[in-house]
């Protein structure tokens, strides 16, 4: 199950870790699979592939197995069990856990432990999940890469900033993982690593207990190997939290249930190339055009108004201004321990005027109003998830340009591993939905995945 350091580690599967997370949860609930057995298999997988992938920054096998044993004992004693009972989950290392370090990808926080769990961690524990460990993040969840490598080819980047979460799921080390996205930090690494990445509507999941970069943009996202599993995980961690003002009271989203349901009508898609289409590789452009042809009358090319071209400048302004405020303690006490790119972004943010910041926030609603006209006619938008395959080399995490507009607008987005580039690495197709309409998006994405899979058989 190992690798020579150059080959893929994602094509070597074993049971039961090759089951979907939904199947794992169902078998544990039925008593046909023990959580200890599942966690042992995941740990074996990590032991055999971690030297090549390097997805984890904190992992205590004994503690992971102790959690699994407790889950098995709880079930055996007849206690109520949750929807993820006994299923292991990886957490990006900017998410606070009271029982594990949270180091935020910087030596400045080496050994840091929080006193409390993040809200989403509390919800995972209540659902019975096993917190397997902490996955690698880029420095303060920005651009400076961590140690993680792409499981398909360790000489290529896994993307960022949720590098370890994407790579761990892709390498079959864990069935589910949590990350975050401020620009392209879920969708891009999911595309590069060939897994499903789901960035929900901004504010669907509480960010209380997470490193804050830019509150108008910061969004919790997840990695899985199917749309259904992504919906299952977000069902557990979504919901109102008074500690996060960007969340709001709402009914249970029932994302997994809707995702796997049959659409009442055949979904319709808008192919949106966007202002940076020419940045996409030939493989990406050709793949999207082929997908459009495959969908036929169910997909039209739609051009967005010219106002959308300013999305990149608006997001950059909001992001660096957020850095200047929220990451100031790191800069002030340890600027010489930060990367040049991190310091430059914080310094850039200190020059942003309040009037420009407020205007940028107001543009979020203006652009969403424009997108509303698209979603009146179409169930979802199709667009690239990344420029192309994961670039060779580990000095960069790749270009997030195809995620920027959707991160700014706070719309839900899913990347599906439907394409492959000339170097044999995966390329994701990004499916975008109306803000707040996550269930409809997941249903359309699930339908699209099934159609493409059936056609390839």
Contact 21, 232 (CB under 8 A): yes
- In sign, the C-alpha dihedral spanning 310, 399, 237, 319 is negative
| Nearest in space to 136 (alpha carbons), one of 193, 192, 92 | 92
Between the two ends of the chain, the Cα-to-Cα distance in Å is 27
Query: Which of 185, 206, 407, 449 is flagged as catalytic?
Result: 185
| Cβ count near 11 (within 10 Å) | 9
Query: Which of 49, 92, 191, 206 is flagged as catalytic?
Result: 92
Order the strands of the 176-181 sheet from edge to edge. 56-59, 130-135, 88-92, 176-181, 219-224, 196-199, 413-420, 426-432, 380-384, 269-271, 299-301
Q: What b/e readout covers 136-168, taking b as 16+ CB neighbours within 10 angstroms?
A: bbbbbbbbbbbebbbbbbbebbbbbbbbbbbbb
Active site residue 396: no
Contact 413, 382 (CB under 8 A): no
Element (H, E) at 363: helix 354-377
Collapse the DSSP code of 201 into the 3-class scheme (helix H, G, I; strand E, B; otherwise coil) and give the result. coil
DSSP 383-434: EESSSSSPPBBSS-----TTTHHHHHHT--EEEEEEEE-TTS-EEEEEEE--
Element (H, E) at 164: helix 163-170
Strand partners, 299: 269
Token pair for 240 = 């109102």
Give the C-alpha separation, 365 to 379, whole Å.
Answer: 20
Place of tokens 């490598």: 149
Active site residue 185: yes
Query: Which of 8, 35, 122, 161 is flagged as catalytic?
Result: 161
Give the C-alpha separation, 444 to 446, whole Å.
Answer: 5
Contact 387, 284 (CB under 8 A): yes
Residues labelled as active-site residues: 92, 161, 185
């Amino acid at each position: 199950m190992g690798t020579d350091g150059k080959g893929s580690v994602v094509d070597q599967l074993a049971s039961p870790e090759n089951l979907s997370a939904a199947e794992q949860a169902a078998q544990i609930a039925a008593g046909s699979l023990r959580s200890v057995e599942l966690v042992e298999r995941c740990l074996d997988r990590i032991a055999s592939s971690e030297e090549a992938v390097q997805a984890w920054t904190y992992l205590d096998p004994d503690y992971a197995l102790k959690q699994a044993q407790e889950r098995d004992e709880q079930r055996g004693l007849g206690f109520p069990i949750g929807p993820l009972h006994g299923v292991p989950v990886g957490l990006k290392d900017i998410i606070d856990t009271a029982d594990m370090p949270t180091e935020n990808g910087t030596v400045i926080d080496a050994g840091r432990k929080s006193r409390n769990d993040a809200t989403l961690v509390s919800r995972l524990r209540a659902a019975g999940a096993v917190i397997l460990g902490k996955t690698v993040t880029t420095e303060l969840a920005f651009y400076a890469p961590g140690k993680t490598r792409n499981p398909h080819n360790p000489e290529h980047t896994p993307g960022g900033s949720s590098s370890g979460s994407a790579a761990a799921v892709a390498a079959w080390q864990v069935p589910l993982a949590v990350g975050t996205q401020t620009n392209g930090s879920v969708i891009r690494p999911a595309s590069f690593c060939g897994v499903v990445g789901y960035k929900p509507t901004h504010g669907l999941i509480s960010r209380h207990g997470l490193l804050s970069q830019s509150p108008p943009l910061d969004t919790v996202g997840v990695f899985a190997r199917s749309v259904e599993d992504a919906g299952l995980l977000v069902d557990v961690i979504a919901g109102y939290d008074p500690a996060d003002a960007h969340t709001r009271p709402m009914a249970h989203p029932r994302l997994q249930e809707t995702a796997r349901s049959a659409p009442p009508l055949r979904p319709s898609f808008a192919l949106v190339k966007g202002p940076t289409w020419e940045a996409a590789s030939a493989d990406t452009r050709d793949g999207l055009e082929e997908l459009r042809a495959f969908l036929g009358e169910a997909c039209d090319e739609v051009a967005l108004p010219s106002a959308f071209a300013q999305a990149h400048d608006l997001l950059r302004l909001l992001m660096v201004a957020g850095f200047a405020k929220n990451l100031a303690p790191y800069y002030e006490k340890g600027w010489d321990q930060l990367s040049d790119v991190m310091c430059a972004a914080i310094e850039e943010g200190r020059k942003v005027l309040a009037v420009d910041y407020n205007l940028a926030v107001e543009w979020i609603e203006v652009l969403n109003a424009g997108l509303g006209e698209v979603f009146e006619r179409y169930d979802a938008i199709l667009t690239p998830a990344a420029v192309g395959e994961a670039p060779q080399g580990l000095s960069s995490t790749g270009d997030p340009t195809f995620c920027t507009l959707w991160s700014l607008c706070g719309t839900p987005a899913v990347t599906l591993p439907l394409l492959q580039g000339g170097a044999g690495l995966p390329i994701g197709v990004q499916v975008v939905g109306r803000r707040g309409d996550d269930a409809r998006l997941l249903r359309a994405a699930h339908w699209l995945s099934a159609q493409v899979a059936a056609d390839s058989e």
